[in-house]
Amino acid sequence: MRVAYICADPGIPVFGSKGASVHIQEIVRAFRKRGDEVTVYCARRGDVIPADLTDLTVVDIAVRAPEVASREIAIAATAELLAAMAIADGCDLVYERYALFSTAAALVKQATGAPFVLEVNAPLIDEQREHRSLYDAHGATAATRVIIDAADVVACVSEAVAGWVTELSVGTAAPRTLVVANGVNTARIRPAAPATPTPRSPEFTVGFVGTLKPWHGVDVFLRAAAAAASARPDPQPWRLIVAGAGPQLDALRSLAAELLGAPAHTGPQTLHIEFTGTVAPDQIPAVLARFDVAVAPYPQADAADQYFSPLKVYEYLAAGLPVVASAIGQIPEIIDHRRTGLLVPAGDEHALSAAMLELQDDLDLRRRLGAAGRAAAVADHDWTAVLTRTLEPLAQRLFALHAASPAPREAVLR
């Protein structure tokens, strides 16, 4: 099957290090694993190219308009050009990652008759208005309604996102809307060897992976870990690894210097804080292999902001790591408390400290949580399963498309 994957968002490089880039790459891999031929049509190619995707066909048209209003117009125009190229190339399925002002896949479907899957990862109109700049809110809403209504399947990463889609489309998309949470490549991310913690390693290492933005709570993590390390008269030092980059990097470095300069840390070195900077996706397994425990320390947030589906948590589970995560948004559906991880109240530094200290002491608990988390990742959260759930409503149509194909018929539903 020929798949046209469209991403008209100029903020997301196909070959990049951010979570959205990883998401694109993994969906492409999942299609290719089925035996499908994928061409990506995008507004930003990027240059962090994984070895297994060097042969991926990518058609890119850059958006070059720095001013907000002109940039929004340019995105819409770019999306139309990407659609025209996908139409000229032809496809059996068009799959678009929702982007503001893009109606690209709707145009492809109209011209080719190909079934259309729309992937919605966030309420982008609300995000853009709150965190960035949105000039033409009416135009963004109109384009979003067009593309939602044209889709045969609207795959949303969370119930909150699905609710936003249904409300925005005045209920017309409800029968075609699925909740399909994010996933992880369990072949690429695996437990490090040895798979179980060894008694008393030289350092107790707790890590975070992700973009350094306020809503990821890395400041909560640093303060909680510093308090835990200084509260324990224990010769085993702590190492905190913050893997990622983002707008909070300088502020977090300053906080780390402040914590390390506190009276509790002026004696023997009990705490080390390491910032790795940007990490390419193919280096994430090596970073995770350094962790004894992984954290997702989200701060408190309004219900309207709890729409995310955290890639990092799935990666932690796949790596066989014991996870401490805030009980917020979708996370309680992913983490089974005290079976696949530990849940703590969002933004609660004391609870986060206590959970990390418990895991430092209890090697058996770390072993059990890591093994159960890995099993859950393999059984429920692999990207191949994510794509299968997304395509399930189209199964009969896609099977019919392949009825005369020389490829094995069973490949359609793998």
pLDDT tens, N- to C-terminus, the chain (414 residues): 999 999 999 999 999 998 999 999 999 999 999 999 999 999 999 999 999 999 999 999 999 877 888 999 999 999 999 999 999 999 999 999 999 999 999 999 999 999 999 999 999 999 898 878 899 999 999 999 999 999 999 999 999 999 999 988 865 655 689 999 999 999 999 998 754 555 557 889 999 999 999 989 999 999 999 999 888 766 788 999 999 999 999 999 999 999 988 665 544 458 999 999 999 999 999 999 999 999 999 998 776 678 889 999 999 999 999 999 999 999 999 999 999 999 999 999 999 999 999 999 999 999 999 999 999 999 999 999 999 999 999 988 887 766 645 544 344 433
Q: Which of 146, 77, 140 is nearest to 110 (CA)?
A: 146
| Encoded amino acid at 138, one letter | H
Identify the pLDDT of residue 307.
87
Question: How do strand 293-296 and strand 204-209 relate by DSSP bridges?
Answer: parallel
pTM attached to this predicted model: 0.89
| Max intra-chain CA distance, the chain | 74
Helices (H) and strands (E) in the chain, counts: 15, 13
Say how far apart CA 40 and CA 34 lie, in whole Å: 16
Residue 120 β-bridge partners: 156
Identify the pLDDT of residue 168.
87
Identify the pLDDT of residue 266.
44
Identify the pLDDT of residue 172.
60
CB 363 within 8 A of CB 199: yes
**CATH architecture for segment(s) 2-183+382-413:** 3-Layer(aba) Sandwich (3.40)
Cα distance from N-terminal residue to C-terminal residue, the chain: 13
**What is residue 139's DSSP assignment?**
H
Residues 6+ apart with CB under 8 A from 217: 297, 298, 299, 326, 346, 347
Identify the pLDDT of residue 7.
98
The tokens for 47 are 């240059």
In CATH, what class is 204-380?
alpha beta
Residues 6+ apart with CB under 8 A from 364: none
CA 401, chain centre distance (Å): 31
| Encoded amino acid at 266, one letter | T
The tokens for 69 are 């209003």
Identify the pLDDT of residue 402.
63
CATH 3.40.50.2000 domain span(s) along the chain: 2-183+382-413, 204-380
User: Nearest 5°: phi and psi at 284?
Assistant: -60, -45
